[in-house]
Structure 1
Amino acid sequence: MMSPQEQINNLTEKLNYYNHQYYQNSVSEVTDFEFDQLLVQLQELEKQFPQFSRPDSPTHRVGGTISKEFPSVTHIYPMLSLGNTYSEEELSDFDERVRKGLNNEAYEYICELKFDGVALSMRYENGILEKGVTRGDGVRGDDITANVRTIRTMPLSVRGNNIPVKFEVRGEGFMPLSSFDALNKEREDIGEALLANPRNAASGTFKMQDSGVVARRKMDCYVYSFLSDDEVFETHEESLIWMKERGFNVSPTWKKCQTVEEVFEYIRYWDTERHKLPLNTDGIVIKINSFDQRRELGFTAKSPRWAIAYKYKAEAATTLLESISYQVGRTGNVTPVANLKPVPLAGTVVKRASVHNANEIERLDLRIGDWVFIEKGGEIIPKITSVDLSRRTSDLETIIFPDTCPECGTGLIRKEGEANHYCPNEKGCPPQIKGKIEHFIQRKAMNIDSLGSETINVFYQKGLVKNPADLYDLQYDDLIVLDRFKEKSVKNILEGVEKSKTIPFKQVLFAIGIRYVGATVAEKLTSYFKNIDAIAAADLQALISVPEIGERIAQSVVEFFQETENQEYIARLRQAGVQLEQEDEELVSEGNALEGKTFVISGVFQNFERDDLKRKIEANGGKVLSGVSGKLNYLLAGDGMGPAKLEKATKLGVQVISEDEFLEMIK
């Protein structure tokens, strides 16, 4: 029988191999379920035997590390910016400077797409990924290694011949358009402002302190540069081929060009083709291929003389603003949408554009009948950038944002400090009611895939469902009499509703539809409080003490559970048999050093995530409480702990201990 270390090594090698086959060769040698089962085995072994966990373990891909701060790191090789040009004439001038700098010696270019993301630098030592660092100011960047390790296409280890002991690769970290769309859909669903574009979303994601959240956003990175003190390659082309062979995600869009005319052809080709890619691009990078020639050309104070960026102009068009319509979302947010005279833009015909809120209408001074400029650029949804005032006529009236809901007529509310208007009639506004039910059945929530928006609309119109809890009262006889509802589809619906009763509590809490409580927040709340009753009973301070739960989310949760109708809603879900508490993991006892002792945990810790710390206390006989009281034995304080808890503990004479003191207690 293999030892624990051998099992960990075996699973690590096997899973890394499957990852390589899937992401580099597009081959699935095992099913997703089989892969996940092996990953769970490895995670369990690493928990029991952390001393045998490897730095290239695929468990790093799922994240979970909480960073209090990102240490600053000095780049071994400065990350310089490139000179920019927007015209072929300036590019010809660059080519002439290169020709003169090389004394008419023959040279060739490598052309690469300039991806719109976040510049990252990855350091490898003895083939293992040691550091992932942001560009920063070009001289120093932030150490975000835990977040970089969650990028599934980034090798955690590199094998093969002729690998330098130390080397560095650089690339563009990005959020794929599919991930960006999904993230914005969730934000819209829970009533949060939409992110402007994938680049901003990528930048914010890579700087998140919880690498588990980063992992769920499925970030990616295209690698485009190899650096080492050893002279491994003679050309950039050789380095790109080598990196691809070693498992790095090198975009296949690069091309070697012998002349500047071939460069122009490359630029013109990708001017339209780039819109078919899974991420945004904003230009082309042109580099000298030979490393010797690069050294000969050298650098200016700010940028290399052997490379330049050609930037595409932002795609724009002018069209007529025909009307403004107002959409009401599940949480009551009222969003204005500009209805435009159809116009071609960036490969599609644009008929609508987002206006976001009343502030944006006022800032642009929009009027029905205006000719407006629209852009895509780095945006997924076209947006209006300005008005062509030269074409405005004097009879156009200023747009007044409605003060009543366009769906139900209820007076709109605008909270202080928020840009959005919303309809407070959540129990009587049709799109809010149907939206809440559609939210309840979605895959991330109760996963009732036998239902859809059209079916929900039929149920609503027939008076069968006015609340998600009504789904659990549906009967065969109610549905079989409806038009186009056959016996098989009715049985599928009822079976899907019944099956949803086994969905884990974290998904149920997300499905319930509390404003600002997305899937990630729901997971943190269920992990911390364990059941719906504890969440309902928690006050504002108790909720804020949960990591990454701010006052706005906490206030929304408190207000939700204070409403009588919501209390009845939860009671009906409980009666239906829905999971309203988190199943406890089987606890393995480590001793009784903490027997009879009670703890409250607050802050961020060096050696533990909070859930791991809670399990550690319970495994040693102790008990974790949610609030400070006179009966509490210890307040276990990490960095950034809640000041209210500390003040209360001091006042009640509760002993405050550090992480190191806690570790001494359980030795």
Structure 2
Amino acid sequence: MTDQNFSLMTNEPTTDTAIIEQMRALIDLLKKHNHAYYVMDAPTITDGEYDKLREQLMALEMTHPALVQSDSPIQTVGGEPLPFFTQVAHDVPMLSLGNVFDKTDLANFLRRANERAGVHIDEYEMELKLDGLAVSLKYHHGRFVQAVTRGDGRVGEDITHNVRTIANLPQVLAGCEQLEWLEVRGEVLMPKAGFERLNRDSLARGEKTFANPRNAAAGSLRQLNPAIAAARPLAFFAYSVNQGLPDGIKTQSAALQWLGELGFQTAPFATATTLDGIEDYYHQIIKTRSSLPFEIDGLVVKVNSLSLQEKLGFLSREPRWATAYKFPAEIVPTRLIHVEWQVGRTGTLTPVGKLEPVNVGGVMVSNVTLHNFGEIGRLGIKIGDMVNVHRAGDVIPKVSGVIVELRPSDAKDITLPTHCPVCSSPVALPEGEALARCTGGLYCAAQQQEALIHFVARRAMDIDGLGGQWLVKFWQMGLIKTVADIYQLHQHKEHLMTLEGLGEKSVANMLTAIEKSKSTTLPRFIFALGIRGVGESTAQALASQFGTLQAICDATLAQLQAVPDIGEITAQSIYDFFRAKHNMAVVQALIDAGVHWATMTASDSDSLPLTGETWVITGTLHQMGRDEAKDKLMALGAKVAGSVSAKTTRLLAGEKAGSKLDKAMALGITVVSEEQFLALLNDYS
């Protein structure tokens, strides 16, 4: 039985023991889903399904207050802070909101607020309920100093290093220099366009994609490396001031207007004086929400007067002066009739479910991504099943669950193809992974464009003048199919010179660069092949360990795993790559075309002077480029990383070294100047 069908209220319990048993069952379910949503950022049920469970527990507690359990989620907020971030206590508890779901619920909320206020409340403020991660920001004398997540409502996680990278966040507030402390609360979210771009780029790189913008935003803020958050399209929207509000501001709407004047972005807001006015705005937003640049899941309705807010106060987990007016979730059942497998640019196989067409939120849906083979197993889905479909964020069709009770007797298991549907190369699914991939990286038509662009890159074969634009054009024209065909382009010289944008000199330079690239090194060649998991350091380690390409091709899994920094999954990728006939045909064609390198002597990597050391390079080097410095370090056995960590051995710091130098000094890591580095190279030459 799925959680959304779980109900304990169909039979009214008659004994205290039965009531407590039902409370405990609901509490355990809610705790599980709270942890999935707040801590792991991976909800397993929809908001509507969660709300139904919570309503059942709340009804039991209201009817039987003497039996309320001390650990009831109705009395607390969210999930516990993650243990690997610094924990910070909130000056003012950061509570969540209660919910209403229709006009009757809303009318009851307004009635209770008026009764408790003891006066007629003449104005309400309405904000869009943004679907992101709630954070509290502190400014000291107008300068941003700290960001903390909600956590459990009383203690949150310090995520200052990540929030500081958000582009639309004002770091300094003009005119607030005399204000000792200002605390602003709001939502960090990922706009729709940025979310779609992030997933497209992740999919192209063969990386994990996010289920929705909220998960993407939360995952970005929980990175220990701020560079990751900085690369994500995050935005901050303010919704309240908890400390430092000027005395002259008396309403919530005026507070938001003031925040906007300080430079904070706020979501659209409005005011209304009656229930009907709120209801009209609610339906207006429902009609226009699809055109908004970010996801919302309802309205927040607040008493506009700040003095009345203070008078009304709080329940144990939520304010009495505000509630979330949630939008209805639309989940529609339909049948899965077939599954097709699509191959991405990096070889990832994605299962696409073919559905009996169904209208979901005004859009006819007939296809739905099942993400990966691991997701199929998690859902327990079979061909022929009736499934519940919704549009995640009202945009992306998604299967939320299987209606097992309606499974037909002839339902069929969904099986992973053993061979790529595009090129027939073997499909690999490493143990413990969810993503299956085609192993024909150099041959598979679905992957050829990506393979071509990687092959000519500066750190690979370094073919200057043959960029991605021309590679894709030549591929579309049929002049090249695999990377080996690059070395046959001289046969099409006359044709190339007729193309717009390419003249005689440009073609001559391009062909010269191609010819020059034939003389390379074994590490560069291995890296250029684009084997999954094989970066420059791994390619260098393979070349150093085995000495020849043939020895690498013949290596067993055990021999590959014995190479420093090569684990089980990367070893399997290398092993599979060199046993795919299509890949080896392309490798042989490259060698036949004249690609060559100096013979290396297989050596024990322990004999290299910097083996076991991890270096990071930062700042400007004047005697050599950073790429050249990286090559020299790798040739001496060092691993070159992109960021400073506790595992870093030494930092090579050039001119204008920035945050990496600061972090290295804080961690006590040895810092090497360019002059010292040149002397070290001289010692080892």
TM-score by length of 2: 0.64
Cα distance, 1:348–1:466 mapped onto 2, change above 3 Å: same
2:647 aligned with 1:641: yes
Between 1 and 2, higher relative CO (CA 8 Å, sep ≥ 6) is seen in 1
**2:251 aligned partner:** 235
Q: 1:202, CA displacement in angstroms? A: 1.4
Whether 2:263 is the aligned partner of 1:244: answer no
The residue identity in structure 2 corresponding to 1:641 is K
Q: Using the alignment, how far apart are the partners of 1:628 and 1:490 within structure 2?
A: 41
Superimposed CA distance per residue, residues 532-577 of structure 1 (whole angstroms, 9 cap, x where no aligned partner): 7578548979975xxxx98756885898799978987998999799
1:188 and 2:203 correspond: yes
Residue 499 of structure 2 corresponds to which residue in structure 1? Answer: 487
Deviations 1:234-285 (A, max 9, x none): 111111111111111112x211121222211222122232222222222221
CA distance in 2, matches of 1:429, 1:317: 37
Give the letter aligned to residue 241 of structure 1.
Answer: Q
> C-alpha deviations, 1:266-307, integer Å up to 9, x for none?
221222322222222222211111110001101111111001
Tell me which residue corresponds to 2:296. Answer: 281
> Quick check: 1:81 aligned with 2:96?
yes
| Contact residue 206 and residue 214 of structure 1 kept, 8 A | yes
Q: Could you tell me how far apart the structure 2 residues matched to 1:85 and 1:195 are?
A: 29
- Give secondary structure in 2 for the equivalent of 1:167: strand
Distance 2:302 2:504 in 1: 58
Which amino acid is the alignment partner of residue 499 of structure 2? E
Q: Which runs of 5+ in 2 are unaligned?
A: 1-82, 515-523, 546-559, 598-608, 639-643, 650-664, 677-685
Residue in 2 that maps onto 1:515: 532
1:48 alignment counterpart: none
Match of residue 475, structure 2, among 427, 452, 456 = 456
Distance in 2 (CA, whole Å) between partners of 1:205 and 1:111 is 28
Q: Aligned letter for 1:295?
A: E
Q: Mark the CA change 1:400 to 1:663 in structure 2 (over 3 Å): closer, same or farther.
A: closer
Task: Output the CA distance in 2 between the equivalents of 1:365 and 1:486.
Answer: 56
Q: What letter corresponds to residue 475 of structure 2 in structure 1?
A: I
Amino acid at match of 2:97: L
Within a 5 Å distance, the mapping from 1:567-582 to structure 2 comes to none
Residue from 344, 347, 350 that aligns with 1:335: 350
Pick aligned residue for 2:280 from 265, 279, 289: 265
SS of corresponding position for 1:372: strand
Residue aligning to 1:355: 370
Q: Which residue number corresponds to residue 359 of structure 2?
A: 344
Rounded Cα–Cα distance in structure 1 between residues aligned with 2:413 and 2:468? 45
Q: Secondary structure at the match of 1:100?
A: helix
| TM-score of the two chains, using structure 1 as the length reference | 0.66
Q: Deviations over 1:87-144 (max 9, x none)?
A: 2221111010111112232331111111111111110011111112222222122222
Aligned to 1:431, the other structure's residue is in SS state coil
The structure number with the bigger radius of gyration is: 2
TM-superposition CA deviations, 1:387-430 (whole Å, max 9, x none): 45666554554444433332334443322112233333334433
The equivalences for 1:4-23 within 5 A come to: none
Out of 149-158 and 330-339, give the one that drifted further.
330-339
For 1:278 and 1:122, the matched residues in 2 are separated by: 23
- The answer (yes or no) to whether the contact 2:250–2:305 under 8 Å persists in 1 is yes
Q: Which amino acid aligns with 2:265?
A: N
What residue in structure 2 maps to residue 147 of structure 1?
162
- The alpha-carbon distance between structure 1 residues 294 and 139, as it changes in their structure 2 partners (threshold 3 A), is same
Number of the residue aligned with 2:652: none
The runs of 5 or more residues in structure 1 that have no matched partner are: 1-67, 578-597, 604-608, 633-637, 644-656
Superposed CA RMSD in Å reads: 5.0
The one-letter amino acid paired with 2:444 is C
How much does 1:383 deviate?
Answer: 1.4
State the alpha-carbon separation in 2 of the partners of residues 211 and 573 from structure 1.
45
The structure 2 residue matched to 1:314, chosen from 320, 326, 329, is 329
The C-alpha deviation readout for 1:162-186, integer Å capped at 9, x for no partner, is 9632101111111222332233223
Contact 2:430–2:572 under 8 Å retained in 1: no
In the alignment, what sits opposite 2:228?
Answer: 213
Equivalent residues of 2:442, 2:483 under 8 A apart: no
Q: Aligned in 2, Cα 1:176/1:497: closer, same or farther, shift over 3 Å?
A: farther
Residue identity opposite 2:260 in structure 1 = K
Rounded to whole Å, the distance in 2 between the matches of 1:511 and 1:116 is 42
Equivalent pairs counted in the alignment come to 527
For 1:157 and 1:508, the matched residues in 2 are separated by 49
The 5 A counterparts of 1:166-177 are 166-177=181-192
- Structure 1 residue corresponding to 2:435, chosen from 420, 443, 449: 420
Return the letter of the residue paired with 2:115. Answer: K
Q: What are the residue-to-residue correspondences of 1:580-659 with 2, within 5 Å? A: 610-612=616-618, 640-641=646-647
Aligned partner letter, 1:243: L
How far apart, in 2, do the equivalents of 1:277 and 1:664 lie? 50
Please state whether the residue corresponding to 2:428 is helix, strand or coil. coil
CA contact (8 A) 2:355 2:366 kept: yes
Task: Note closer, same or farther for the CA distance 1:390–1:564 as it changes in structure 2 (3 Å cut).
Answer: closer
Aligned CA distance change for structure 1 residues 197 and 550 (closer, same or farther; 3 Å): farther
More moved, 226-235 vs 487-496: 487-496
Superimposed CA distance per residue, residues 473-517 of structure 1 (whole angstroms, 9 cap, x where no aligned partner): 435846849xxx963266599779949989xxxx99998644257
In structure 2, distance between residues paired with 1:348 and 1:332: 30
> Residue 339 of structure 1: CA displacement?
1.7
- Corresponding position of 1:35: none
Change (3 A) 1:340 1:576: farther
Name the CA shift for 1:85/1:384 in 2 (closer, same or farther; >3 Å): same
- Residue 453 of structure 2 contacts residue 468 of structure 2 at CA under 8 Å; is this kept in 1? no
